Amino acid sequence: MSGHVFHPGHAELHGITVVVETHGSRTYVGRYDMEDSQGVHLLDVGVHEPKASMSKEEFIRKSAKFGVQSEHKHVIVPADRVARITRLGEVVGS
Amino acid sequence: MPYNPALVAPMRAEVTRLGVKELTSAAEVDAALGDQKGSMLVFVNSVCGCAAGNARPALALALKHAVVPQQIVTVFAGQDLEAAARARQYFGEYQPSSPSMALLRDGDVVHFVHRHQIEGRSPQAIASDLTAAFDKFCGAAV
């Protein structure tokens, strides 16, 4: 293949933009980097708070259509808070 | 911080050998995208192999299609910082990501391929989406 790959040997989701839904009220969209004892590391992350003007579903759909509005360079979501991880590219409408 | 230029050179060449014009300064971007007329594809190149390793071959496949944009240009995110930042100013509400591709018509973004629409997909699948957009927005009847 003609692509030049710089990140061999990483986790399957490394470099993939994902939606991380939590057992709490926050939802994160960002680039999956790795998981370690601290939790799931995300880069260039947008965060949905329950008091936001749009619903979680709208936040995810907007991220899928217009891209991730990065609010944080790096976020660690504790593993026990993670309810579900989905590829943003699999979100309908992306 | 940009990578070693020698390391990045093959990634630039993979795009420019297709006849794509590389824009490396804000002035070059403004000259190409300011008052843009007709159809133009802006390919935002990237070092990241997770996605760019499929995006560049996808572009190569798509440019073999019968209908292609009138102009095709590229900026290199993470390398030509000023040019990439300026190009993104022309993308309206679409958030920065790299690699990505913006299809413009008369200055408006009419189709955008984000990084997350490239990740994990084959060059053929990405090219298929691109050529569908070319057919829709770059044909003579548009």
The torsion angles phi and psi of A20, rounded to 5 degrees, stand at: -110, 110
The pLDDT, as a whole number, for residue B139 is 82
pLDDT at B102: 98
* Nearest by CB: B116 against A3, A7, A17: A17
Q: Which two tokens stand for residue B16?
A: 């420019």
Give the per-residue pLDDT at A61: 95
Per-residue pLDDT reduced to its tens digit, A40-89: 999 999 999 988 789 999 999 999 999 999 999 999 999 999 999 999 99
Per DSSP, A78 falls in state: -
Enumerate the active-site residues of B.
48, 50
Cβ separation A66–B115 shorter than 8 A: no
pLDDT at residue B83 in the model: 98
- pLDDT tens, B53-102? 899 999 999 999 999 999 999 999 999 999 999 999 999 999 999 999 99
Q: What was the pLDDT predicted at B12?
A: 96
Interface test with A, best of B116, B117, B126 (most A CBs within 10 A): B116
The full 3-state SS of chain B, as one line of letters, equals: CCCCHHHHHHHHHHHHCCCCEECCCHHHHHHHHCCCCCEEEEEEECCCHHHHHHHHHHHHHHCCCCCCCCEEEEEECCCCHHHHHHHHCCCCCCCCCCCEEEEEECCEEEEEECHHHCCCCCHHHHHHHHHHHHHHHCCCCC
Contact B17, B75 (CB under 8 A): no
Average pLDDT over residues B112-138: 96
- Chain B residues in contact with chain A using a Cβ-Cβ cutoff of 8 Å: 10-11, 14, 47-54, 56-57, 60, 93-97, 100, 112, 114-117, 119-121
- Alpha-carbon torsion (B129, B133, B138, B142), positive or negative: positive
How would residue B21 be classed by pLDDT, with cut points 50, 70 and 90?
A: very high
Strands (E), chain A: 17-22, 27-36, 39-48, 72-77, 82-87
Report residue A94's pLDDT band, with 50, 70 and 90 as the boundaries.
low
- The token pair that represents B87 in the structure block: 């190009």
Q: How confident is the model at residue B142 (pLDDT cuts 50, 70, 90)?
A: very low
Contacts of B56 in chain A (CB under 8 A): 2-3
Q: Find the CB nearest B119 among A68, A70, A89.
A: A89
Nearest by CB to residue B94, choosing from A3, A16, A67, is: A67
| Total number of residues shown for chain A | 94
Size of interface A-B (CB pairs under 8 A): 73
- The burial class, CB within 10 Å (0-12 / 13-18 / 19+), for B93 is exposed
Give tens-digit pLDDT for A2-45: 344 444 556 788 889 999 999 999 999 999 999 999 999 999 99
